[in-house]
Amino acid sequence: MRYGLIGSSGRMGKEIIETFKGHDLVLEVSDTGIFRHGEPEIIIDFSNREALKTAIEMAYQFGAGIVTGTTALNQSDIADLRRLAERVPVVQSFNFSTGINLLRMILKEYSSLLEEFEAEIIEVHHSAKKDAPSGTAIMLKESVGRDLPIHSVRTGGIPGDHRVFFANEGEVIEISHRVISRKVFAIGALKAAMFCAERENGFYSYEEVVRWMQKR
């Protein structure tokens, strides 16, 4: 697979390059410029919102699918990705961890049984993370299916820690997920890229990638 990488010099970019060994990195976009060695089939973007426009432009230019895990996107950004998805496959998620997406499935399935419980989310990330609440916390809130408080903590070098609490007067249910290495996101990006390679167009979530992997 020939792939392009937005943010190749960043921490996540380096994890992706390591995880994608055996595939051809033919396009790199970093702070130092754009380096092209061929035409990519897939564009990988885990950089920042400011670089999304470049990623989309390159996807149009090369007719390449796109896998984007960039956070802090707004509705206009999502609309741009959906328009692109009419031409090429797009996988968009705020979290490419298999565990988080399984947690989302569990919440969608069982949260309706906990409507009488109060619910809150606590999310903890490294101190350099710019957006709060995290895109993942927002996804979890949507999976619960009701409005609930989100508490954000930014400290140290924590890759990602999310906890959903359900509580009443007599008991507490806590569902949690902790990332211990950014590598899980790079592995998720690789799975999503493989998923894209089998599709002509469409807008997909990482949850759909997880279901696809289970059927293989």
Residue 177 is among the residues annotated as catalytic for this protein: no
Q: What is the largest CA-CA distance in the chain?
A: 62
Nearest partner of 185 among 4, 20, 74, judged by Cα: 20
Identified catalytic residue from 23, 125, 183, 191: 125
DSSP character string of 15-50 = HHHHHTTTSEEEEEEETTEEEESS--SEEEE-S-GG
Identified catalytic residue from 14, 37, 108, 129: 129
The torsion region of residue 7 among left (phi > 0), alpha (psi -120 to 50) and beta comes to left
Structure tokens at 8: 């190749």
Nearest partner of 135 among 92, 89, 91, judged by Cα: 92
Q: Can you list the alpha helix ranges (DSSP code H) found in 111-145?
A: 135-144
Beta bridge partners of 35: 28
Residue 141 is among the residues annotated as catalytic for this protein: no
Nearest partner of 100 among 48, 45, 176, 154, judged by Cα: 176
DSSP character string of 148-182 = --EEEEE-TT--EEEEEEEE-SS-EEEEEEEE--T
Annotated catalytic residues are 125, 129
